[in-house]
């Protein structure tokens, strides 16, 4: 069973093991977040809510919200914006990309998959494009809280694997809680429903089985029609 804590709850005397979501006062570890205690190597409190804060190496889905030469400014669902440098696209023949041609490459509203290169002390976030796949018009963006992402992925990817198979969709989950799905309209509807279900019930037990049963019964119903 999960142990839920509120800010200020005492957790442990082992100050050395204090990790994310906790703080240490006079040698004791206290909860800094409303969340669930996880005591592995580190004592952490996994937050039940909150805003995504980027770390180097995170892969995120972002949306271009501003063209501010030489950067595209990217909304990554965080209190902090990211930025992509024009160097991402090299040069146009002999010339560097200039302001007027930036929108030919990435325009306002475009969705991108990017990796966080660096976060500096002033919270400037440098991104680089990941070219695993392109986000195109065919497909759908779903947003959930970044805190639920681990549950959608599941232990060793078990949950996400099951979703991809049973929904027959391409599903990509980014660290910042944004999910890109692609497939037939009715398959995407099913996937959307299930993803929101997982997000709402992230901290319940037996979730994997429930999701599996739900998907199976849905499929049965469809085949029956």
Residues near other proteins (CB under 8 A): 4, 6-8, 21, 23, 25, 30, 32-35, 47-51, 53, 79-81, 122-123, 147, 200-201, 203-207, 210
Closer residue to other proteins (CB): 4 or 111:
4
Check residue 18 and report its DSSP letter. Answer: B
Query: In degrees rounded to 5, what are phi and psi of residue 170?
Result: -80, 125
**Alpha-carbon separation of residue 158 from 23, 89, 103, 123, 201 (angstroms):** 33, 36, 39, 34, 17
CB of 135 to other proteins, least distance (A): 24
CA atoms within 13 A on the CB side of 169: 28
- Distance (Å) of CA 220 to CA 104, 183, 206, 214: 46, 19, 21, 10
Task: Give me the least distance between CB of 25 and other proteins, in Å please.
Answer: 8
Q: Which is nearer to other proteins, 187 or 201 (CB)?
A: 201
Nearest residue (CB) to other proteins, 37 versus 188 = 37
Pick from 102, 101, 198: nearest CA to 142: 198
Q: 34 with 6: CB under 8 angstroms?
A: yes
CB of 184 to other proteins, least distance (A): 28
Q: Least distance to other proteins from the beta carbon of 197, Å?
A: 9
Beta strands in 56-201 (DSSP E): 59-68, 71-75, 82-85, 91-92, 95-96, 111-119, 125-129, 140-143, 170-173, 178-182
Nearer to other proteins, 51 or 219 (CB): 51
Taking the complex as a whole, how short is the minimal distance between the CB of residue 19 and other proteins, in angstroms? 13
CB of 146 or CB of 172, closer to other proteins: 146
- 62 near 78, Cβ under 8 Å? no
**Least distance in angstroms from the C-beta of 152 to other proteins:** 14
Contact between 13 and 28 under an 8 Å Cβ cutoff? The reply is: yes
Smaller CB separation from other proteins, 129 or 197: 197
Of 158 and 205, nearer to other proteins (C-beta) is 205
- Minimum separation from the CB atom of position 14 to other proteins (A): 19
Q: What are phi and psi of 6, to 5 degrees?
A: -115, 160
């Amino acid at each position: 069973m999960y142990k839920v804590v509120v800010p200020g709850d005492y957790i442990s005397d082992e100050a050395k093991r204090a990790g994310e979501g906790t703080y240490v006062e006079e040698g004791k570890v206290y909860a800094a977040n409303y969340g669930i205690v996880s005591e592995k190597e580190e004592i952490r409190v996994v937050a039940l809510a909150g805003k995504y804060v980027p770390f180097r190496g995170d892969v995120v889905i972002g949306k271009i919200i501003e063209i501010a030469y030489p950067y595209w400014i990217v909304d990554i669902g965080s209190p902090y914006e990211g930025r992509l440098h024009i160097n991402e696209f090299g040069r146009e023949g002999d010339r560097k990309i200039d302001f007027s041609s930036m929108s030919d490459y990435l325009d306002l509203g475009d969705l991108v998959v990017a990796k966080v290169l660096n976060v500096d002390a002033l919270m400037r976030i440098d991104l680089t494009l990941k070219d695993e796949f392109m986000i195109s018009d065919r497909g759908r963006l779903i947003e959930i809280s970044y805190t639920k992402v681990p549950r959608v992925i599941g232990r060793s990817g078990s949950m996400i694997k099951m979703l991809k198979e049973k929904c027959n969709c391409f599903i990509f989950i980014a660290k910042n809680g944004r999910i890109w799905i692609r497939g037939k309209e009715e398959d995407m509807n099913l996937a959307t429903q299930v993803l929101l279900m997982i997000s709402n019930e992230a901290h319940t037990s037996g979730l994997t089985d429930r999701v599996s049963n739900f998907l199976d019964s849905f499929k049965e119903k469809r085949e029956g029609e």
